[in-house]
Amino acid sequence: MRRNYCFRTIVSHRTVLDTSGCFASAGIMAAHVLLVLLLPVVSVWLVSCWWLRRYCFYRRRTFFADGLPATLFVTAHPDDEAMFFAPAILGLAPAPRWLLCLSSGNYYNKGEIRKKELLDSCAVLGIPPSKVTLIDHRDLPDNPSVEWDIALLSALILEQIEAHRIALVVTFDAGGVSAHTNHRSLYTAVRYLISEEKLPGGCRVLVLETVPLFRKYVSLLDLPSAWIQTPDVLFVLTQEEADLAKSAMRCHRSQLLWFRRLYLPFSRYMVINSLNYLQLEGERGFSPAEKPGQLRCVDKQTLRYRPMETFPSLG
C-alpha cells in the first residue's frame, strides 16, 4: 500500500512537470515563429529608412523646379523654428530664408531671454538676425487658450511677404503639430490670405504635416510612413544636419526641461518635415459652383479633402 501511494505521487508529480514543459516549449516555439515573421519586416523597414534618407537628400533640389524660392517661415513662439521646422529650414539652404515669429514666448515671463535665444538658434540654422522678425504685440500673447486676431496676423504676414518678395511661405497646418492654439491661428491666417487672393502672384504656401502621436516620437523610423503618405515636399536631414538642428534647439536654454531633452533624440520633427501645399479647391478645376465661399484645402497629390471649419469673423 505504502509503495503504491509513493508511486502514485511520483506519477502525479511527473505529469505536472511534463504539462508545464509542454506549455514552455509551445511558448518558445510561438516566440520563434513570431521572430521569424517579424525579422524580415523589421529588416525591410530599417533598410527603407536608410535608403529613403539618402534618396530624399539627393532628390531635395528637384522639389522646386524653378530653383530654391525666397522663403518666409512663420512661427508662433521662439523655439518653434528649431523644434518643428529645422529640417525645412536646413533643407532649403542656400535659398534666402526669413523668419517671422509672432510672439516673444512670454507665457512664463521669459520673453526677453527667449528673444536672444531665438536669434542664437536662427544663426545656427543659417538665418542671420537681419532676417529674423519677432513681433511682441499685446494682442498676440503666448497663450494656448487665446485665439489670435486673424486680421492682425494676416496683415503682419503679408507685410513680410511683400517686403522681401517671398515666393514660399512655410507654417503650421490645421493641427498645429502640437495642437497649440497659437500655431493653429497661423494656419487660419495664411488660409485667409489665400482665400481672399491677397498673396502676390507666384507666392505659395506649404504647411507642416501634423502626424498622429504614435508616429511623433520614433525619429527616423517614421520615414517609410511619411514617404507612403506622399506629401508634396519631404525633407530628411543628414546626420550632420540633424546635429545642427539639435544645436539650434539647445540655444533655447530656458526651455530645455527634461521632457524637451528627450524630445531631441526621439521627435521625428528634428529630422523629418513632410509638407503639403495649401490651395483652394478651385485651382484644381473643380466645379466653379462650389468655389465661392466654400473653401477647402486639398492635398495636392493625394486628393484628400479637408473640410474647412467655420471661418472666424474679422470684425
Contact residues for Zn ion, defined by CB under 5 A: 76-77, 80
CB of 272 to Zn ion, least distance (A): 18
Chain centroid to Cα 170, Å, comes to 12
CB of 83 to Zn ion, least distance (A): 7
CA dihedral for 282, 284, 286, 288, sign (positive or negative): positive
Number of H helices, E strands in the chain: 11, 9
CB of 103 to Zn ion, least distance (A): 8
CB of 151 to Zn ion, least distance (A): 21
Q: Which residue has the cell 517609410?
A: 224
CB of 79 to Zn ion, least distance (A): 7
CB of 30 to Zn ion, least distance (A): 46
- Our CB check for Zn ion shows the closer of 171 and 225 to be 171
CB of 84 to Zn ion, least distance (A): 8
Torsion angle, CA of 68/71/73/74, rounded to 10 degrees? Answer: -140
Residue 170 and residue 132 in contact, taking contact as beta carbons nearer than 8 Å: no
- Which of 33, 134, 84, 96 has its CA nearest to residue 264? 84
Gap between the Cα atoms of 232 and 220, Å rounded: 19
Chain position whose Cβ is nearest to Zn ion: 77
- Our CB check for Zn ion shows the closer of 80 and 173 to be 80
- Which of 9, 122, 248 has its CA nearest to residue 256? 248
- Our CB check for Zn ion shows the closer of 76 and 140 to be 76
- Our CB check for Zn ion shows the closer of 53 and 268 to be 268
Gap between the Cα atoms of 37 and 78, Å rounded: 46
CB of 176 to Zn ion, least distance (A): 8
Q: Which residue has the cell 533624440?
A: 265
- Which of 189, 192, 179, 102 has its CA nearest to residue 145? 179
Residue 10 and residue 18 in contact, taking contact as beta carbons nearer than 8 Å: no
- Our CB check for Zn ion shows the closer of 80 and 299 to be 80
The total number of residues written for the chain in this structure: 315
DSSP designation for 137: -
- Our CB check for Zn ion shows the closer of 103 and 229 to be 103
Q: What is the CA radius of gyration of the chain?
A: 26
